[in-house]
């Protein structure tokens, strides 16, 4: 395997590992034959062992098997080896972007869950305030805070859950169920079905029934109340932004500077290194995915770049609307 050191017995020596460049192209790889998914995964793992610059990602969030490579030729070479060595039939699709969703205003909402089916029914009513969370923000205005929980989310950002129940209108034992319902809905926002981050939820009122109220009922009420509030609270789509450094011959820097605005690139600065210019900029992942090919085309292969994740930032309104329409259409097609 690459980076293994071979030596005589009793001669203990390990050579420094090779540092490989970060992948620049990512595509979803899909089997054309049902039942070959496990075989495809094993074959890709073998290719990675031989060539560590091919990186495989099983994305549960995006529901895709994503292959990262150095360029499109590298990607096509991997496809050729899969087809001819492992007798697999595969094709590439664009890799999805791991968007995030949040909100921009505060909304109060309530939801009553009532279900009766012969025996014991289900009843729960939840009133909550949902608002954008920012570190250091003041306590919820006009509410009595009895307890606050901050939960860092696996996908970034936080959920802050505030107990503002007074008078025992909701039993304390039902609050974890309400929060669980909220967390469930945070795995699928209404804009593009992406993860939700950076919200504060304050439960301040509600009702319960001495017989029909239970954890399942309050979980449902919490989930639906949060869903209704989120839709009303001016949802905002966030996209991953990368810091990018482009190294280009000085006589071709003009082509780079002209092309970056087309890709929503934000130029930060330019440095000089001999006969080369280093253009530092920020670019959305959605525009960066095929940039290796674009860069090779506009500079005749004389430029190179590196990229590193920086942060999540707001998606422009026109692009958010387009992505939301595509998501809604896809949902209708699945139904």
In a domain, 254, yes or no: yes
Q: Is residue 333 part of a domain?
A: no
155-193 confidence digits (pLDDT tens): 999 999 999 999 889 999 999 999 999 999 999 999 999
Q: What is the pLDDT of residues 322-331, one digit of tens each?
A: 999 999 998 8
On the 0-12 / 13-18 / 19+ scale of CB atoms within 10 A, 20 is middle
Instruction: Check whether residue 116 and residue 210 sit in a common domain.
Output: yes
Domain that holds residue 86: 25-94
Q: Quickly state the pLDDT bin for 285 (edges 50, 70, 90).
A: very high
Apex 175 CA angle, 173 and 180, nearest 5: 120
Q: How many CB atoms are closer than 10 A to CB 268?
A: 12
The reported pLDDT for the residue numbered 196 is 98
Residue 39: half-sphere exposure toward Cβ, Cα within 13 Å: 14
* Contact between 157 and 100 (Cβ < 8 Å): yes
250-265: per-residue pLDDT in tens?
Answer: 999 999 999 999 999 9
pLDDT at 1 over 80: no
Q: Which of 216, 233, 250 is the last residue of a domain?
A: 233
Helices (H), 143-290: 175-185, 215-232, 253-259, 285-288
Task: Name the pLDDT band for 6 (thresholds 50, 70, 90).
Answer: confident
Q: How many domains does the chain have?
A: 3
CATH of the domain at 227: 3.30.230.10
User: For residue range 38-74, what is the model confidence (pLDDT) as tens digits?
Assistant: 999 999 999 999 999 999 999 999 999 999 999 899 9
Residue 295 sits in a domain whose CATH number is: 3.30.70.240
Distance CA 122, CA 216 (A): 8
- Kindly report, residue by residue over 86-131, the tens digit of the pLDDT: 999 999 999 999 999 999 999 999 999 998 876 678 999 999 999 9
Asked if residue 9 belongs to a domain, the reply is no
| Of residues 129, 63, 74, the one with CA closest to residue 98 | 63
**Could you tell me the CATH number of the domain that includes residue 41?**
3.30.70.870
Instruction: Answer yes or no: do 109 and 226 share one domain.
Output: yes
Inside any domain, residue 282: yes
Q: Judge if 207 and 268 occupy the same domain.
A: no
Per DSSP, helices labelled H in the chain are 37-50, 72-85, 175-185, 215-232, 253-259, 285-288, 291-299, 317-334
Residues 254 and 181 in one domain: no
Residue 156 and residue 267 in one domain: no
Same domain, 142 and 71: no
End-of-domain residue from the set 233, 267, 291:
233
């Amino acid at each position: 395997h690459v980076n293994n050191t071979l030596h005589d017995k009793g001669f203990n020596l390990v050579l420094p590992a090779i540092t490989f460049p970060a992948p620049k192209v990512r595509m979803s790889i899909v089997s054309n034959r049902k039942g070959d998914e496990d075989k495809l995964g094993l074959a890709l793992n073998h290719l990675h062992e031989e060539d560590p610059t091919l990186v495989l990602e099983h994305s549960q969030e995006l529901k895709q098997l994503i292959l990262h490579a150095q360029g499109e030729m590298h990607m096509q070479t991997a496809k050729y080896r899969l087809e001819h060595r492992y007798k697999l039939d595969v094709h590439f699709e664009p890799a999805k972007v791991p968007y995030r969703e949040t909100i921009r205003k505060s909304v109060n909402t309530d939801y009553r869950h009532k279900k009766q089916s012969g025996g014991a029914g289900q009843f729960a009513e939840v009133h909550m305030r949902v608002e954008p969370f920012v570190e250091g923000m003041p306590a919820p205005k006009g509410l009595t805070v009895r307890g606050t929980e901050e939960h860092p989310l696996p996908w970034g950002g936080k959920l802050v859950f505030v107990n503002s129940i007074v008078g025992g209108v909701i039993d304390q034992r039902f609050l974890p169920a309400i929060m669980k319902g909220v967390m469930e809905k945070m795995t699928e926002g209404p804009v593009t079905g992406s993860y939700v981050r950076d919200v504060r939820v304050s439960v301040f009122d509600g009702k319960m029934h001495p017989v029909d109220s239970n954890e399942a009922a309050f979980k449902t009420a919490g989930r639906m109340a949060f869903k209704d509030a989120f839709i009303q609270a001016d949802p905002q789509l966030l996209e991953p932004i990368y810091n990018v450094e482009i190294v280009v011959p000085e006589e071709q820097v003009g082509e780079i500077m002209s092309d970056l605005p087309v890709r929503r690139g934000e130029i930060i600065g330019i440095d000089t290194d001999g006969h080369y210019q280093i253009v530092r900029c920020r670019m959305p992942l959605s525009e960066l995915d095929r940039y290796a090919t674009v860069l090779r085309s506009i500079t005749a292969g004389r430029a190179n770049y590196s990229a590193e994740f920086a942060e999540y930032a707001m998606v422009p309104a026109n692009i958010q609307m387009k992505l939301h329409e595509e998501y809604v259409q896809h949902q209708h097609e699945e139904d």
